[in-house]
A and B are shown apart, each in its own frame.
Chain A
Amino acid sequence: MNPIILECKGLSKRYGNTQCAVDNLSLSLERGQIVGLLGPNGSGKSTLIKLINGLLTPTAGTVLIDGMLPGVETKSIISYLPEQTYLSPSMKVKDAISYFTDFYKDFRPDRALKMLKDLDIDINARFKILSKGAKEKVQLILVMSRDAMLYLLDEPIGGVDPAAREYILRTILMNYSENATILLSTHLIQDIENVLDRVIFLQNGRAVLNATVDEIRMEQKKSVDILFREVYRC
């Protein structure tokens, strides 16, 4: 098995004639890690995630997932949680489960149903009647109930209260396997610092730091959260 699950080489994305959203970025991630993609608004987090899952094509450079260019095969091993919901408001939770079961060979409906039950979410409810937090939880449950190789979670804890955040983090910890890697973007570092192996700081589309959480604490004698505030001081 290729130990590298994700490799970006000189990756750039420019929208029209603007500044690069992702700028000559090179990095590689090994399997079996939870990686935080950190950066202020507009630093290129979502663009990078969309380049990895093939929703955007690079202006220059390449991205390889398990050695493959983004395509049908990589979609089958990537589980992606977008920043915005894509589930139709009129759809019922159980319909979403059957969609996922049809779409993804690696989807485990029993796992999803168990988590929904733990959270007292009615599978007969339509998405339009669910609270924002409940909707986010359902989406994360769907995404984490796949046995994927690479999970791309774009702001998974952005819109939920602290208690739900804790549940979501537990869900992530509980469902991820040793061979899988999770790349999650967020600006709420403090809440998730302890569950991360490694952090990547993005600034203007470049990786300005790529280190493990304990390396940062050992060398800087401060938390990633404090370091982030220093690096990105306005």
Chain B
Amino acid sequence: MPWDLDNDRPIYLQLMERIRQDIVAGVYKPGDKLPSVRDLALDAAVNPNTMQKALSELERDGLVYSKRTSGRYITEDETMLNQLKAELAMQHIRQFLETMKQLGFKKEEILSLIQEALKEEP
């Protein structure tokens, strides 16, 4: 199944986001070997060079590292992984707050709505 990508943003950025998300969601565990560029490109149905670029950027950020001949691995740096998780969470929260603001809710109202929603969660 090709990855779900937006039409109006650079593809490599979206590939980076997707891989980051997969790392946080535990699709890839710390120290796991990533599939080859070609396999990832086939899976996403994108150009291998674009996938290569996304992986190089993730490598520059330190999230993945490569061993010279055997491929790319997910970092085992727990601090970095926790930081990434927190960053993604903040991104979602900011998006949510933006939407709520547009709907006309005040901070206190948003907070109490969240608390109510959390109570309903099993």
A residues at B contact (CB < 8 Å):
32-34, 166, 169-170, 173-174, 190, 193-197, 213-214, 217-218, 221-223, 225-226
Contact = CB atoms under 8 A, between A and B. Distances in A.
Interface string B34-74: 00001001101111111001000000000000000000000
B46 A195 contact: yes
Interface in B1-19: 2, 5, 7-12
A217 B45 contact: no
Contacts of A34: 47, 49
Contact of B41 (A173, A213, A225): A173
A194 B49 contact: no
B5 A194 contact: yes
Given A166-B2, A214-B12, A173 B7 contact: no
Contacts of A217: 8-11
B45 A173 contact: yes
Given A170-B42, A173-B42, A214-B12, A195 B7 contact: no
Contacts of A32: 49
Given A166-B2, A170-B42, A174-B42, A225 B7 contact: yes
A218 B14 CA distance: 12
Contacts of B9: 217, 221
B46 A197 contact: no
B45 A223 contact: no
A226 B45 contact: no
Contacts of B38: 173-174
B40 to A, nearest CB: 11
Contact of B50 (A169, A197, A222, A223): A197
Nearest to B13: A214
B121 to A, nearest CB: 37
